[in-house]
Structure 1
Amino acid sequence: MTDAAPLRPQNVSAALPDPAEFGAMLCSRICHDLISPVGAIGNGVELLQELDRGATEGAELQLIGHSAQMASASLQFLRIAFGAASPGDVIGMSAVQRTARLWFSFQRPELLWVDAGGETTRSCARLLFNFLQIAASSLPRGGEVSVVATRDSAGESLLEVTAAGPVVSPSPEAGAWLAGRATETPAGPRDAHYLAAAAHARAAGTVISLHKDETCLRLTADMPPGV
């Protein structure tokens, strides 16, 4: 048997995709692998509830069930927000809305989004979900997050997310990060959705518009056809 050639660093790096897309692929893989076991925990709790229907449900079982539901909602949401999205790959709008509503059921703000049918691209859904994270994290005392997501006959999509509440406090560096500019204050893990939104917008060939005042934050983007 012939010995295999050693894998040198240049051989490996040549096979790697763009760093941002590689990160998205890793996120997709992690979420995919975790969704099934987390879902199984939730199914197990439901089975225990069915088997002991006459008994009073204990606090322990309630905590496990609630935590499993919250983890599943987060994984499904983050899989779209940070996961890989091939150009032109489509997803049903009803599935997008269902995932967003499930995630918002564990957040402080309320989600206002008129039901809409049809399809959107995964790239649009990915940017939209990062907008939703920015909006939700900007409302520490709760409020309302409203969504407008339309797609015309030419395939161009308009994304608009508005956060309104008693306190609207996005990161002070939000404008710079969304524009892809470096700042003196480095972004941390809690700011990942700002950087992801900027990267996704750049990959789609669009820019993000940000408007903010004391009671409102609005994010918009026009997504060109084919992304």
Structure 2
Amino acid sequence: MTTVTLDALDLSALLCSRVCHDVISPVGAIVNGLEVLEDEDDAGMRDFALDLIRKSAKQASARLQFARIAFGAAGSAGSSIDLADAEGVARGMFGDEKTQLTWSAPRALFPKNKVKLLLNLVVVAATTIPRGGVIDVVVSGAAEAPDFVLTMKGSHARIPPHLEALLAGAPESGSVDAHAIQPFYAGLVARAAEMRVHLSIDGDTVTIRAEPAPAGAAA
């Protein structure tokens, strides 16, 4: 297994591409809605456009707030992030009609990298239930040595190909593109947080576990 190393410029460029990919759809919908308002006099169409703008703006805001913590330097003045803030941005990002999010965690400050890992694992979790379902997040243990258990249930649940290799930092292709950067980054954060990630599947249920890595072990 060959570990891939990205330099700072490549890593930042790929993460920026990922964030842009997440927000371009709702921003485009806002632009479309504004064009309808400019061109339409029909009251029904104008109401439709306003509703589209309202929903898309809310979605874009939720995705940016999530990215600020999961990928960015939110709270960079300190070394901890409140799990309540993590829950809030996760619900904004994933709590919709397609995917339900349940969250059981203490209201406490946790080390920044551990919170970033948890949020990135929620993104990974969503990829295991492509047709939607339930993501159940449970956080236990002390802040410095927590255990994360994410349980996903849904139709056609699966562990995506190459996901485990990307989390391990050793993609089979030997390279990482914008499509693969998020799980690769999640693995980087896991190692920085000194945590080990395991995936398993049983029928229509996928489980992701993250726990403190043994001293000297890779995540």
TM, length-normalised to structure 2: 0.71
Which residues of structure 1 form unaligned runs of 5+? Answer: 1-17, 46-54
Q: Deviations over 1:15-60 (max 9, x none)?
A: xxx7289729x85xx89xx9xxx9xx9xxx9xxxxxxxxx987011
Structure 1 residue matching 2:106: 3-state secondary structure: coil
- For residues 162-207 of structure 1, the C-alpha deviation after alignment (integer angstroms, 9 at most, x for no partner) is 2111111332111211122230385442332210111111222222
Aligned to 2:182: 193
Which amino acid letter does the alignment assign opposite residue 85 of structure 2? A
Does the C-alpha gap of structure 1 residues 90 and 20 become closer, same or farther in structure 2, counting only changes over 3 Å? farther
Task: Provide the aligned length of Structure 1 versus Structure 2.
Answer: 184
C-alpha displacement of 1:150: 2.4
Instruction: Give the equivalent residue in structure 1 for 2:132.
Output: 142
- Shift of residue 87 of structure 1? 11
Which of 61, 64, 73 pairs up with 1:75?
Answer: 64
Alignment check: 8 A CA contact 1:88 1:121 kept: no
Q: Look up the equivalent residue of 2:69 and give its one-letter code.
A: I
Question: Equivalents in 2 of 1:140, 1:75: separation in Å?
Answer: 22
- The structure that has the greater radius of gyration is 1
Residue 55 (structure 2) aligned to one of 61, 66, 76: 66
Distance in 2 between the 1:67 and 1:111 partners?
Answer: 20
Q: 1:21 to 1:194 in 2, by over 3 A?
A: same
Match of 1:214 in 2: 203
> Identity percentage over the alignment?
33
Q: 1:141 to 1:185 in 2, by over 3 A?
A: farther
- Distance of aligned partners of 1:162 and 1:185 in 2 relative to their CA distance in 1, 3 Å threshold: farther
Structure 1 residue aligned with 2:217: none
Q: 1:128 aligned to 118, 121, 124, which one?
A: 118
Contact 2:83–2:107 (8 Å) recurs in 1: yes
Q: Report the CA distance between 1:133 and its aligned residue.
A: 0.7
Task: Give the strand-richer structure, 1 or 2.
Answer: 2
Conserved in 2, the CA contact under 8 Å of 1:168 and 1:215?
A: yes
Match of 2:99 among 94, 105, 109: 109
Q: Write the distance in 1 (CA, Å) between the matches of 2:147 and 2:210.
A: 6
CA root-mean-square deviation: 3.2
Q: Give yes or no for contact 2:105–2:140 (8 Å, CA) kept in 1.
A: no
Q: Is it true that 1:99 corresponds to 2:89 in the alignment?
A: yes
Unaligned regions of 5+ residues in structure 2, if any? 1-6, 35-42, 214-219
> Which range is displaced more, 156-165 or 213-222?
213-222
Question: Where does residue 15 of structure 1 map in the other structure?
Answer: none
TM-score, structure 1 normalization: 0.69
- Check 1:107–1:170 CA distance in 2 against 1; reply closer, same or farther (3 A cut): farther
